[in-house]
């Protein structure tokens, strides 16, 4: 949703003549307001959601060969930063109904080398955080929340991104709020906040009495132009999220109970913010499963994505063939064999979940007529494909 507010903010930014956030005020305003809205002490803007995850991992500061637990179903932008910081990604299985990691799937892959746990609130549906945080606390392991798809999602009254040690958000075009590309990191931990602020700024100590480049870091700053857009976007975030939830809440009862098709599973006390709306399709009841249903919906003008991603992350070449820095295989050459064991038998939820999921596009501009058409189309497609 773009309107006069973004245009006016960008125009004001250009009139100031300052487009770098080191001198301007828009990014600082964004950081202050975002922290307040998310209920955290600190928030910093950065170049992308991938940069946000990189900042979080850099703040954790793993030693080469340390392990960071993550999910088998996520974007490469949330995985590459682990490797760039010299750590080994260790993939946890997921709940096949939500495609989220759980305390039960994380626990078996914790080792003495685990440096952090990344939980991804996929599609805007929050992970069950209380048991995950309890598990992490028992082992003394920090938790990074990947909330790229989950703005204002909540679990048991707590907004995601402020439950773990660090929260990471994406402002890419398709998210609940956007600057085209961009990211945010959040934390209540002052030491982590300092590390992330520095990492965004080439580790240069802006504001220090005797600044220096304190450690190896990149330039991940957001520009003032992006900050101006984000300030305007943040004003609309609550409305955007409400519209998405209202549209989903209207669709769910219209298609609930259809044979072979299940609506999103939302835990008690959780707030799903619907980056996407996902169906679970039983191939024993629906001819062709998720792929078959997607084909029928396409004929009715509805695009959808069976499987979400075509293969689990660990099947991508970078991990399966350890293609990293030259021929070194670093950091995988430092890994325990168990950490890089990608046998399918270890990931039953991952393969089952991908086989069954059908991802419907979703946004805040759907009208009741759109929702009714989607519901009618799903009902007709199920009727066509249902195995009696």
Q: What are the tens digits of pLDDT across the range 117-165?
A: 999 999 999 999 999 999 999 999 999 999 999 999 999 999 999 999 9
Helix locations, the chain, DSSP H: 4-16, 26-38, 49-60, 80-84, 103-106, 129-139, 190-200, 224-255, 289-299, 317-320, 348-356, 368-385
User: How many residues belong to the chain?
Assistant: 388
Question: How far is the C-alpha of 51 from the C-alpha of 76, rounded, in Å?
Answer: 12
202 is catalytic: no
pLDDT tens digits, 293-349 = 999 999 999 999 999 998 999 999 999 999 999 999 999 999 999 999 999 999 999
- Beta bridge pairs of residue 378: none
Q: Supply the pLDDT for residue 375.
A: 98
3-state secondary structure of 201: strand
- Residues with Cβ < 8 Å from 102, sequence gap 6 or more? 94, 95, 127, 128, 131, 132
Q: Supply the pLDDT for residue 388.
A: 81
Question: How far is the C-alpha of 220 from the C-alpha of 196, rounded, in Å?
Answer: 10
| Residue matched to tokens 């956030």 | 21
| Per-residue CA distances from 243 to 34, 176, 187, 267, 363 (Å) | 20, 11, 27, 20, 8
- Beta bridge pairs of residue 68: 89, 116
- Residues with Cβ < 8 Å from 33, sequence gap 6 or more? 231, 234
Question: How far is the C-alpha of 106 from the C-alpha of 212, rounded, in Å?
Answer: 39
Identify the CATH number of the domain defined by range 4-234: 3.40.640.10
Tell me the whole-structure pTM to 2 decimals.
Answer: 0.97
pLDDT tens digits, 201-245 = 999 999 999 999 999 999 999 999 999 999 999 999 999 999 999
What value does the mean pLDDT take over residues 109-123? 98
Average pLDDT, the chain: 97
Reply yes or no on whether the pLDDT at 52 is more than 90.
yes
Question: How far is the C-alpha of 233 from the C-alpha of 230, rounded, in Å?
Answer: 5
Q: Supply the pLDDT for residue 1.
A: 86
In which element (H, E) is residue 45 found? strand 42-46
Task: Please tell me which residue in 175, 236, 276, 311 is annotated as part of the active site.
Answer: 175
Lookup: tokens for 376: 């009618």
Confirm if 74 and 93 have CB atoms less than 8 A apart. Answer: no
Confirm if 245 and 186 have CB atoms less than 8 A apart. Answer: no
Q: Which of 316, 360, 361 is nearest to 342 (CA)?
A: 316
What value does the mean pLDDT take over residues 267-284? 97
Confirm if 364 and 243 have CB atoms less than 8 A apart. Answer: yes
pLDDT tens digits, 9-21 = 999 999 999 999 9
């Amino acid at each position: 949703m773009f309107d006069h507010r973004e245009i006016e903010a960008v125009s004001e930014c250009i009139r100031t003549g300052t487009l770098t956030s080191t001198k301007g005020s828009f990014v600082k305003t964004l950081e202050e307001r975002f922290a307040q809205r998310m209920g955290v002490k600190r928030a910093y803007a950065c170049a992308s959601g991938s940069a946000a995850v990189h900042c979080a991992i850099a703040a954790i500061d793993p030693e080469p060969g340390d392990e960071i637990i993550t999910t088998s179903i996520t974007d490469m932008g949330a995985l590459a930063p682990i490797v760039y910081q010299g750590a080994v990604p260790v993939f946890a299985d997921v709940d096949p109904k939500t495609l989220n990691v759980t305390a039960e799937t994380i626990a078996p892959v914790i080792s003495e080398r685990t440096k952090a746990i990344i939980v991804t609130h996929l599609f805007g549906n929050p992970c069950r955080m209380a048991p995950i945080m309890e598990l992490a606390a028992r082992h003394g392991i920090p938790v990074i929340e990947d909330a790229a798809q989950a703005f204002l999602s909540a679990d048991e009254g707590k907004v995601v991104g402020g439950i773990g040690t660090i929260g990471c958000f994406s402002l890419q075009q398709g998210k609940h709020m956007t600057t085209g590309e961009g990211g945010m990191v959040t934390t209540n931990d002052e030491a982590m906040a300092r590390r992330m602020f520095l990492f965004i700024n080439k580790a240069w100590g802006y504001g220090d009495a005797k600044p220096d480049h304190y450690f190896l870091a990149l330039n991940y700053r957001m520009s003032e132009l992006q900050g101006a857009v984000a300030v305007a976007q943040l004003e609309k975030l609550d409305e955007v999220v409400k519209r998405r939830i209202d549209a989903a809440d209207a669709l769910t009862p219209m298609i609930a109970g259809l044979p072979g098709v299940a609506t999103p599973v939302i835990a008690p006390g959780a707030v799903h913010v619907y980056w996407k709306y996902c169906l679970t399709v039983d191939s024993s009841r629906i001819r062709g499963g998720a792929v078959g249903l997607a084909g029928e919906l396409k004929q009715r003008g509805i695009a959808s994505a069976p499987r979400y991603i075509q293969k689990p992350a660990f099947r991508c070449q970078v991990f399966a063939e350890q293609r990293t820095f030259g021929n070194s295989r670093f950091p995988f050459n430092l890994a325990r064999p168990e950490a890089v064991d990608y046998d399918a038998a270890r990931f039953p939820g991952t393969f089952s979940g991908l086989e069954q999921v059908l991802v419907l596009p979703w946004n805040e501009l759907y009208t009741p007529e759109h929702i009714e058409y989607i519901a009618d189309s799903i009902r007709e497609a199920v009727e066509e494909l249902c195995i009696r």
